[in-house]
Structure 1
């Protein structure tokens, strides 16, 4: 049976001014951290030219994206470092440190000399700053969620922590808004030259506001009581991950909650945008506006589902979101094709394409780092067809033969880039690409979505449904993760599964989905990645994860 620290009076009542301050300060600080984190991704193309100018443009952009990915990869390590500190010295001071690291790193990017000024030192420093940002974000979320939850009344914990769940979306909005404002004010040429630094420099103001507010806050009551009674963990990492009773909860939190939550989140807010722009060829501004509207309409549901979870439990809402999403992704994304690019839908039905290749030359094109090259004739043909949103049937060819692409009654032969010089490969690539594009367009596959044929209200409705699933799985999860773990190791224990789930399971979604599409030759096949993980989370969660709504968050053991 769980032993517990005596809890303060947290019975049902109205929200107090102090609690409003806790929610506002924690959420505001986390919004600013997400703002800082997303600035880099939004400006990756410009950053590539500024800091990786010593390479060709494509390689520069790949390195810029790798630096962006580094921030996601190190998030679990930040969870370990700052989770340990949060359980040893307190929630307040730990996530005060994380926001200082994030804000300072972002500001330094704004004043960092570019490659032309200091050479190779520029990208090295940039990557180091990006790693610091990822570490800081790894510590921020767990601290903010724990801090708010430990201040909340027992029957409003879901409602209180749901505010933290809106911060990633709001941070993305804020970064896009500031970038758009600066771009408009200084013009595109000046923005690409020096204006891009302004959004990074503005972060110092946001940092000052956040630090000032957080310094005026008190430590969480749960940690304060635990410290007063001398029960603070001296080795939270050992307790959390070295003892099976606690490690079991961490594993269940990862596979029975956050893995499914992460893929639903990324599918609704990122893969949907990727699908619109890269697969359906909807122009970027239109796709971004539609996604932004869907996010704006759905954001209140983070708070709604958080509040509902206080009445019916966290588990039913999170797992229902995983299951419903998994069961409806195929019809929803088929609907996006139907309403956003009906010409592509028609071509997929009436103009079948067949790729014939030696199976030994066809790789699974999983490329999370962006550095691996796929040079066989099979890989080249499949990658180009996938990029043009063409479905194709795979047929085994004779060993050693070059891959061919049959479009109607026309058969094209791909090329093998192995052993070719860079110049020769470029010549062959240009010729094959031109021939393939001409025949694909001749078969009715459009080069881009026709705005006149797009049913924007229906596209918006489908995007709203996808984001609604996000609010179901994400709105209640902070409260549930806090309630799963004992007070003395809560910060450490909840942060790690959250950031592995979201940083790795979610972060790998776009590259895995593309590899699946190229492998199968079906533009919808990439959806199997989030579907399988979401269903796996539903099954594990239903069988092994216990409801937490009635857990005593002051308990020393679980």
Structure 2
């Protein structure tokens, strides 16, 4: 770790676009790795679980997908603490390597047919390792870019990190579809599903090459040279009333709603098409992939807009619109599938990506600006990964379970709607009291712009 740090110090300071490219490329690959299983979860229910109860197998497969989210907060604490003590760059190199190893191993796992219950147990273990890695990745990349970006364009430059989750998901879908179509259904089921996981090893090596060219963040370098790095980032972040207030606001007023809106507009949309409406795998994934191509640039657009009009206006608007329009959007999706109008299906997914863009685009800059520089990696990462990993990551499981329990195909929307409303209310009512009168610019080491 120290060698990585020293090498980073000797590298010439990169320009902002080099920082954005190298940080984003690595984060895209990590999200690609993490979401490969998500894009195959319905398919994996036939490979890694007993086939005699298909509905239960689907729910267990989706629950396995969710296990990776459970440990993301632990990864946030572990790697966030390292990032605040040792450095941003070294830490997100570690997370990238860990993710690459875990994902490659998924590609060589035996199936339930050949290994029995060892197969799903091993899959869960690897999902947990992936969750730890992604728990440390996002915070490091967001903080690293923000600490290089000009103050008046922080929302714009950090929004590229925000696109990486969606781009990684899109990449996973495209690679899976390409393998499935080129190999055919039978060969893909036999061994072709392994290719996307093994391919990530090549992508990880390329990403590591880019990241090794980076130097440490200038903000962290200044802190380290001044001897002001945190001795115990976890305790200093969350053992004081001040730190708890900020973290609680970030969780309940921002990231919980963000997680539910993101996963509803992308993963639940896919599962709704496949599991609830019984649309075939190929058509459902093509509709979603097309929507992601159209909708992803909105994240950058709204990130840049937040530099001009503020972050909170956009974030709260996204929560309100999501809560108001989810039911009619999904009713429209059901009607469009029945009419085989897949252009309309795609358009209705894009509508959800507008909500995602409003919230997700400004979010990295919003969170970075809430926390002091010496604790930023830890303080930001924990509420982010509880919000997106726990509140958001369980959207498919909770929502599909509600549908199965009630028999109402729209019942699953109750959960993301409730969380979106909660985050909007907390953000509007709590922000002035939680943060008013506190010298944010001095505390964070960045010019204030969160409001």
| Same fold at TM > 0.5 | yes
Find 2:145's aligned residue among 144, 148, 152. Answer: 148
Q: Distance between the aligned counterparts of 2:417 and 2:123, measured in 1?
A: 36
Distance 1:554 1:192, change over 3 A: same
Pick from 320, 327, 347 the counterpart of residue 324 of structure 2.
Answer: 327
Alpha carbons 1:487, 1:556 under 8 Å: kept: no
* Residue 478 (structure 1) aligns with: 364
Equivalent residue of 1:484, what SS?
A: coil
User: Which residue of the partner structure matches residue 5 of structure 2?
Assistant: none
Which of 465, 481, 496 matches 2:351?
465
2:151/2:446 contact within 8 Å kept: no
Aligned to 1:259: 256
1:176 aligned to 173, 183, 190, which one?
A: 173
Instruction: Give 5+ residue unaligned stretches, structure 1.
Output: 1-15, 342-448
8 Å CA contact 2:139–2:380 kept in 1: the answer is yes
Q: Closer, same or farther in 2 for the Cα pair 1:298/1:251, shift >3 Å? A: same
Matches of 2:176 and 2:17, distance apart in 1: 30
* Aligned with residue 554 of structure 1, among 439, 445, 448: 445
Equivalent residues in 2 for 1:163-242, closer than 5 Å: 163-242=160-239
Provide the residue aligned with 1:248 in structure 2: 245
- 1:77-121: CA deviation from partner (whole Å, max 9, x where unpaired): 111111111111111000100000000111122234455666654
CA positional deviation for 1:519? 6.1
How big is the shift at 1:260? 1.4
Deviates more, 1:164-173 or 1:260-269: 260-269
Whether contact under 8 Å (2:62, 2:397) holds in the other structure is no
Structure 2, unaligned runs of 5 or more: 1-12
Q: Normalised by the size of structure 1, how large is the TM-score?
A: 0.71
Q: Which residue of 2 aligns with 1:86?
A: 83
What CA distance in whole angstroms lies between the structure 2 residues aligned with 1:164 and 1:461?
A: 24
- What is the CA–CA distance in structure 1 between the aligned matches of 2:28 and 2:272, rounded to whole Å? 26
Cα distance between partner residues in 1 of 2:132 and 2:417:
29
2:27 touches 2:141 (CA, 8 Å); kept in 1?
Answer: yes
Distance of aligned partners of 1:308 and 1:184 in 2 relative to their CA distance in 1, 3 Å threshold: same
| Separation (CA, whole Å) in 2 of partners of 1:51 and 1:159 | 42
Q: Are the equivalent residues in 1 in contact too, given 2:177–2:282 (CA < 8 A)?
A: no
Moved more, 520-529 or 173-182: 520-529
Q: CA deviation at 1:275?
A: 3.2
Note closer, same or farther for the CA distance 1:185–1:462 as it changes in structure 2 (3 Å cut). closer
Q: In the TM superposition, what whole-angstrom CA distance separates every residue of 1:103-153 from its partner, at most 9, and x where no partner exists?
A: 011112223445566665444333222211110011101111011111101
Q: Equivalents in 1 of 2:308, 2:194: separation in Å? A: 46
The answer for the alignment partner of 1:538 in structure 2 is 424
CA offsets 1:399-444 (integer angstroms, 9 cap, x no match): xxxxxxxxxxxxxxxxxxxxxxxxxxxxxxxxxxxxxxxxxxxxxx
CA shift, 1:287, in A, is: 2.9
Distance 1:516 1:66, change over 3 A: closer
Q: How many residues align?
A: 431
1:390-409 equivalences under 5 Å are none
Distance in 2 between the 1:469 and 1:534 partners?
A: 11
1:290 and 2:287 are equivalent in the alignment: yes
Seen in structure 2, the aligned counterparts of structure 1 residues 172 and 157 have a Cα distance that, compared at 3 Å, is same
- Which has more radius of gyration? 1
User: Higher helix share goes to which structure?
Assistant: 2
RMSD: 2.8
Structure 1 residues 200-209 or 41-50, which shifts more? 41-50
Confirm or deny that 1:493 pairs with 2:384: no
* CA deviation string 1:207-263 (max 9, x = no partner): 111111111100101111000000000100101111110111000000111111122
In structure 1, the residue corresponding to 2:229 is in which secondary structure?
Answer: coil
Counting only pairs closer than 5 Å after superposition, residues 398-437 of structure 1 correspond to structure 2 as none
CA distance in 2, matches of 1:545, 1:307: 22
Which residue in 2 is equivalent to 1:137? Answer: 134
Distance verdict in 2 for CA 1:527–1:150, change over 3 Å? same
Cα distance in 1 for partners of 2:63, 2:327 equals 30
**How many angstroms apart in 2 are the aligned matches of 1:457 and 1:178?**
22
